Chain A
Amino acid sequence: MLPVTLEDSTKIVQALLHSGKEYICVMKLHGDAEEEHVRKVLGEFEDLIYQRPPLRSSVKRQLRTRRVYYIDFIEKDGRNVLFKVGCEGGTYIRKLCYDIGEILGCGAHMQELRRTRAGPFVENSNDRVRLHDVAYWFAEWEEKKDEKILRKIIQPMEAALALIPKIVIRDSAVDALCHGANLTAPGILAAETGITKDAMTAVLTLKGEALALAKALVSTEEILDLNHGTVATLQRVVMPRGTYPKVWKSGNAK
Chain B
Amino acid sequence: MPRTAPPWETTRELLIKAEDTTDPAYGHKPSERPAAEYIRYGVINLDKTAGPTSHEVAAWTKKIMHLTRIGHGGTLEA
Contact = CB atoms under 8 A, between A and B. Distances in A.
Interface string A42-58: 01101100000000001
A3 B45 CA distance: 5
Interface magnitude class on chain A: 35 or more
Given A4-B46, A150-B38, A43 B73 contact: no
Interface string B1-21: 101111110101111111111
Interface SS of B by simple majority: loop
Nearest to B33: A156
A116 B77 CA distance: 13
Contacts of B46: 1-4, 128-131, 134
Interface stretch (A30-38, A75-83, A88-96, A100-108): A88-96
A169 to B, nearest CB: 9
B42 A156 contact: yes
Given A6-B65, A131-B46, A207-B29, A168 B14 contact: yes
Contacts, number: 250
A134 B74 CA distance: 20
A166 B17 CA distance: 13
A19 B10 CA distance: 11
Contacts of A19: 7-8
Interface magnitude class on chain B: 35 or more
Contact of A157 (B17, B43, B72): B43
Interface in B32-58: 33-35, 38-50, 54, 57-58
Interface in A122-162: 123, 125, 127-131, 134-135, 138, 145, 147, 150-151, 153-160
B76 A113 contact: yes
B72 A5 contact: yes
A194 interface: yes
Q: Which of B42, B71, B77 has the most CB of A within 10 A?
A: B77
B72 A2 contact: yes
A166 B14 contact: yes
B41 A157 contact: yes
11 contacts: A1-B46, A2-B46, A6-B41, A89-B74, A131-B57, A134-B44, A138-B64, A154-B39, A158-B30, A165-B12, A192-B14
